Amino acid sequence: MTRITIRKPIWNGRKIGIASYRIIDNLEIDIAYRKTDGEKLFPHLYFISKEKALTYPTQNVKGTTLHIIPIKDLEIVKGAKKYLDNIREYFIRKGVFNEKN
């Protein structure tokens, strides 16, 4: 399974773009975008199978072919928010990044 972090979704239609060359296995997707108050807008870890991801339409952006996938079509991985919050707290304590990251 490959984990991918999306920095910012495609706002028109609430979608994400994943490069074709990144879809080599099933995907775990973290959408890292945060609101101005620092809270994650999409706080879950998501899953999509390789086979399903490859069925979505493509768009060429700066020479890279992206599969455009609606966020609503992603499956939420159960228990992942607590896991991600624990990892974030660990790195804050270690000084790797601060509360705003």
Domain spans of the chain, in order of start: 2-93
Give one word for 97, left, alpha or beta, with left for phi > 0 and alpha for psi -120 to 50.
beta
Mean pLDDT over 31-60 rounds to 93
Query: Do 46 and 32 form a contact (C-beta atoms < 8 A)?
Result: no
Q: Please determine, for residue 15, whether its predicted confidence score (pLDDT) is greater than 70.
A: yes
Report field, pTM of the whole predicted structure over 0.95: no
